């Protein structure tokens, strides 16, 4: 599940949190499949999910920094 940066930047803080929860559940499911020895449907999806989670965390950090700059 690959999501583009500009799509993520348009989302609100709550929507980003929901998206991250959804992605982490998906990652847990994929990791469970790998640990039991079954082949996941799309092995390359693990990398995409991890990168998307990292993008969300980066965007959230950037938004917090912008909010702190405007307060000062």
pLDDT attached to residue 43:
83
Q: How far is residue 30 from each of residues 6, 11, 27, 51, measured CA to CA in Å? A: 26, 25, 5, 15
Which of helix, strand or coil describes residue 37?
coil
Confidence of residue 1 (pLDDT cuts 50, 70, 90): low
Give me the CATH number covering residue 42: 1.10.287.310
Considering its fold, how many domains does the chain have in total? 1
24-69 residue pLDDT tens: 999 999 999 989 988 888 888 999 999 999 999 999 999 999 888 8
- Rounded CA gap, 42 and 55, in Å? 20
Q: How far is C-alpha 25 from the chain's CA centre?
A: 10
The number of beta carbons lying within 10 Å of the beta carbon of residue 55 is: 19
């Amino acid at each position: 599940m690959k999501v583009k940066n500009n799509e993520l930047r348009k989302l609100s803080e709550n929507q980003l949190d929901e998206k991250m929860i959804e992605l982490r559940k998906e990652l847990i499911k994929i990791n469970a499949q790998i640990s039991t020895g079954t082949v996941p449907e799309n092995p390359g999806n693990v990398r995409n999910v991890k990168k998307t989670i990292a993008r969300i965390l980066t965007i959230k950090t950037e938004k917090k920094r912008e909010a702190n700059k405007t307060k000062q």
